[in-house]
A and B are shown apart, each in its own frame.
Chain A
């Protein structure tokens, strides 16, 4: 059972363009939604995260948009650069004090062409 569905599986964008990666979830018990960025040969690292009490969070060129009613959230990368080429994972965490696990999407391989 895939609890966090991520699309597209791969994405090619030209330098300066906008990259958009989408995720959807079913379980309303999720209360924390991070995005991780993974460069080749490295482990994933936290990029940006949001809680469902806000609809948008922006950090530099990276923005999370969150639609609670649709149970969807997306990552927008503005002015995409070749250095943004990486695999991106969305994730979700259940609410509750003892639920320290993340459920990850299957990942999106982003290629930004120069």
Chain B
């Protein structure tokens, strides 16, 4: 089945470390997104990309960067992780107004 996959699924890291979250999709969709989910705050958009050469900041991009290595791959990096970046991170694609989410990465920054 065409799918959205995220690696790792769980990660514990320390303050100041650089970390990369990876997303791959086999749906053939051009549009890809990174969200973070926090209890009581819902889903907040970090970055999005409409094609390999198009990268856009979302509402909470500070402290994050992204790389669109190919149509199918969209990575999120935390250059210097801090504890308030502890959250559940979702990658998603979009086609015909519908978003297709990956299973999420639970990140803990100690």
Nearest B residue to A98 by beta-carbon distance?
B50
CB pair B50 A106 closer than 8 Å: no
- Measured between C-beta atoms, what is the minimum distance from A108 to chain B in Å? 10
A44 contacts chain B at the CB level, 8 A cutoff: yes
**Which residues of chain B are near A46, meaning CB under 8 Å?**
98-99
**The one of A9, A43, A105 that contacts B92, using a Cβ cutoff of 8 Å:** A43
- Measured between C-beta atoms, what is the minimum distance from A72 to chain B in Å? 18
Complex CA–CA separation, A34 to B43 (angstroms): 14
Knowing A93-B97, A100-B50, A100-B94, the reply to whether A43 touches B104 (Cβ < 8 A) is: yes
**Which residues of chain A are near B34, meaning CB under 8 Å?**
none
- Measured between C-beta atoms, what is the minimum distance from A31 to chain B in Å? 10
- Chain B interface SS verdict (over half): strand
Q: What sequence of 0s and 1s flags, for each residue 73-110 of chain B, a beta carbon within 8 Å of any chain A beta carbon?
A: 00000000000000000101010011111111000000
Complex CA–CA separation, A49 to B102 (angstroms): 20
- Measured between C-beta atoms, what is the minimum distance from B21 to chain A in Å? 14
> How many interface contacts (CB-CB < 8 Å) are there between A and B?
51
Complex CA–CA separation, A93 to B94 (angstroms): 12
Q: What sequence of 0s and 1s flags, for each residue 7-50 of chain B, a beta carbon within 8 Å of any chain A beta carbon?
A: 00000000000000000000000010100000011111100101
Knowing A43-B103, A100-B50, the reply to whether A32 touches B97 (Cβ < 8 A) is: yes
**The one of B40, B98, B102 that contacts A9, using a Cβ cutoff of 8 Å:** B40
**Which residues of chain B are near A32, meaning CB under 8 Å?**
97
Complex CA–CA separation, A46 to B94 (angstroms): 11
CB pair B42 A34 closer than 8 Å: no
- Residues of B participating in the A interface, judged by any CB pair closer than 8 Å: 4, 31, 33, 40-45, 48, 50, 58, 90, 92, 94, 97-104
Smallest CB-CB A-B distances: 9 pairs: A43-B101, A106-B42, A104-B43, A107-B42, A104-B42, A46-B98, A44-B101, A100-B31, A43-B90
